[in-house]
């Protein structure tokens, strides 16, 4: 009886240990990918951990654990190894706030990678982004990749934003819009990179 209780306790302990190790393994994978991207990209970047999320439903933001003491400035672009994540809007000494690309207040000039068709990508406070002001005859297809055009200040050219999920026509019938699925899963960001230069 005593032995079985001991074994059960040991079993619980080992389960917890496995769970902890799995967590470390997942973190290790993510950090390896970040470090590999950091070394291969031409940008000067700094990695930061997400320590909080914006409390309001009217904006989409995260709080990171790095601030001006590490060289982060207002306007710096935030990304992951998968693509664009957002932009730094507020910097303190040890923390910063990042407005994510699905916030309607953030607009980025973008191009369809295949056809080089230019338009504006805006947030919709949901899981998708909207690519606006596409001409009626624009060459755009489902699954096309959308990248930054480099025309918006601070955003490097060619940074992946997402892929085209749906195409529609504006109510005015003057232009078209595309629904973009962000390359980065914005709802569960854990680490981000901040482009310093």
Tokens representing residue 133 in the block: 């002001």
Minimum CB separation from another protein for residue 146, in Å? 19
Q: Contact 47/34 with Cβ under 8 angstroms?
A: yes
Provide the 3-class DSSP secondary structure of residue 180.
strand
Minimum CB separation from another protein for residue 113, in Å? 26
Alpha helices in the chain (DSSP H): 2-40
The only residue of 8, 49, 125, 174 in contact with another protein, by rule CB under 8 A: 125
Exposure string of 155-193, with b = 16+ CB inside 10 Å and e = fewer, is bbeebbbbbbeebeeeeeeeebbbbbbbbbebeebebbb
The only residue of 34, 89, 167, 196 in contact with another protein, by rule CB under 8 A: 89
Minimum CB separation from another protein for residue 95, in Å? 11
What one-character DSSP code corresponds to residue 55? S
The residue among 106, 127, 109, 107 whose CA lies nearest residue 119 is 109
Kindly determine how many residues on this chain lie close enough to bind another protein according to the rule CB under 8 A.
25
Minimum CB separation from another protein for residue 189, in Å? 10
Provide the 3-class DSSP secondary structure of residue 31.
helix
Determine, following the binding rule CB under 8 A, whether residue 99 of this chain makes contact with another protein.
Answer: yes
Per CB under 8 A, which of residues 153..182 are in contact with another protein? Answer: none
Determine, following the binding rule CB under 8 A, whether residue 117 of this chain makes contact with another protein.
Answer: no
Residue 38: phi, psi to the nearest 5?
A: -60, -40
Residue nearer to another protein on the CB measure, 60 or 148: 60
Minimum CB separation from another protein for residue 91, in Å? 12
Determine, following the binding rule CB under 8 A, whether residue 59 of this chain makes contact with another protein.
Answer: yes
Determine, following the binding rule CB under 8 A, whether residue 64 of this chain makes contact with another protein.
Answer: no
Residue tagged 């601070």 (tokens):
154
Determine, following the binding rule CB under 8 A, whether residue 61 of this chain makes contact with another protein.
Answer: yes
Part in contact with another protein (CB under 8 A); list of ranges 30-38, 98-106, 154-162, 175-183: 98-106
Q: Contact 128/101 with Cβ under 8 angstroms?
A: no
Give me the residues that bind another protein (CB under 8 A), please. Answer: 52-61, 63, 89-90, 97, 99, 102-105, 124-127, 187-188
């Amino acid at each position: 009886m005593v032995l079985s209780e001991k074994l059960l306790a040991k079993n619980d302990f080992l389960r917890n240990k496995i769970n902890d190790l799995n967590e470390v393994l997942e973190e290790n994978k993510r950090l390896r990918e970040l470090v590999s991207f950091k070394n291969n990209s031409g940008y000067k970047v700094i990695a930061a951990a997400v320590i909080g999320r914006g409390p309001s439903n009217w904006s989409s933001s995260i709080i990171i654990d790095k601030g001006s003491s590490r060289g982060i400035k207002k306007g710096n672009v935030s990304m992951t190894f998968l693509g664009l994540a957002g932009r730094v809007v507020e910097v303190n000494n040890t923390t910063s706030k990042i407005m994510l690309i699905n916030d309607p207040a953030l607009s980025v000039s973008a191009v369809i990678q295949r056809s080089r068709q230019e338009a504006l990508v805006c947030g919709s406070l949901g899981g998708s982004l909207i690519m606006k002001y596409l001409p009626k005859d624009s060459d755009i297809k489902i699954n096309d990749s959308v990248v930054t055009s480099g025309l918006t200040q601070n955003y490097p050219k060619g940074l992946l934003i997402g892929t085209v999920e749906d195409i529609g026509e504006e109510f005015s019938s003057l232009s078209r819009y595309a629904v973009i699925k962000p390359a980065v899963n914005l709802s569960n960001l854990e680490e981000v990179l901040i482009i310093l230069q």
